[in-house]
Structures are given as C-alpha cells and as structure tokens.
C-alpha cells in the first residue's frame, strides 16, 4: 500500500520506442526508447498516495510535465521515502550522476536543476537501479506496473 504521508519519489517508466511528444501547450520533445526516472515530491494533501495514485490511474488533467509522458509509457513503480522535507532536487542530483542523459528543463521549471527526468538505460536495467536507490537513498520500492494508457489505482 502507498503511504498517505508526504514524501519524495522517483518514478520509473519505460518507453518501448522512440517518440516525439507534446510537453505542455507549445513544446514538443524527442524521447529515445528506454528506462526513465522522474524525481518529484508529494508534500500536499494525501501525500504519496494521492500523487502516485493519480499517476497510476491516468486520471486528471495534464498539470505536470510527467503527465504528458505517462500515457505513452509503461509505469513500473516508484522509489519512495516518507519525509516532510523537499528532497526531490537532491534525489534528481543523485539520479543525474548515474543517468545516461538528462531531459533538460523537464520537471524543473520551479527550481535550478537541469531537469528532473533522466534516461537511465534499458528496461532490464531497472533492478540494479532500484537496488542502488534503496541502499543510497533509503527508499522503498512500490510496484505500479501497468501497460501504457491503462487505468489502475493501487491506493486504498
């Protein structure tokens, strides 16, 4: 079960094939196929359960950059930590040190980071990445695996 507490998360998604997608109202971005990691925080009402549940359900209007990518990707799950501190930029830096590429400007319009979305390899690389994040960030893995465009809500 996903905690309703505030916290920080790393969302893991797999993009099966390259795609050019609209991000926001005026921007189009090119994405290579592969495993991506998005750093975010859920400090508002409902905490991690509300935010991750929203992503897993596919419901709601497009509000964040990640909302434009998720319908085209397979949502694998999230690494989470319950904490009231805003740790997403620190976590984005941790991912950036290990990533193949940073998607510049993605998810970082409200901070000084290069980006909060990173291509970290191929889908089969996910287990090693998850194990490293669990160890280094003291994060817990929550599976949210679903196919692109499917509607699932795993929050109870």
Q: Tell me what pLDDT residue 148 has.
A: 52
pLDDT along the chain (156 residues), means of 10: 93 95 85 96 94 87 86 95 96 96 89 94 87 97 71 35
What separation in angstroms does the CA of 17 have from each of 32, 122, 128? 7, 11, 22
Q: Tell me what pLDDT residue 156 has.
A: 30
Q: Tell me what pLDDT residue 17 has.
A: 94
Instruction: Name the residue among 25, 49, 50, 52 with its Cα closest to residue 38.
Output: 52
Q: Tell me what pLDDT residue 26 has.
A: 77
């Amino acid at each position: 079960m996903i905690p309703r507490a505030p916290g920080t998360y790393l969302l893991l998604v797999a993009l099966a094939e390259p795609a050019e997608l609209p991000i926001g109202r005026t921007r189009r971005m090119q994405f290579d196929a592969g495993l991506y990691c998005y750093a975010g925080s859920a400090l508002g009402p409902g905490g991690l359960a509300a935010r991750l549940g929203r992503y897993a359900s596919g419901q709601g209007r497009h509000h964040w950059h990640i909302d434009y990518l998720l319908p085209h990707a397979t949502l694998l799950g999230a690494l989470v930590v319950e904490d009231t501190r805003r740790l997403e930029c620190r976590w984005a830096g941790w991912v950036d040190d290990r990533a193949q590429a940073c998607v510049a400007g993605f998810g970082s319009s409200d901070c000084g980071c290069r980006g909060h979305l990173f291509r970290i390899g191929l889908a089969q690389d996910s287990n090693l990445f998850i194990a490293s994040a669990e160890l280094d960030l003291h994060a817990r893995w929550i599976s949210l695996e679903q196919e692109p465009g499917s509607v699932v809500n795993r929050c109870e």
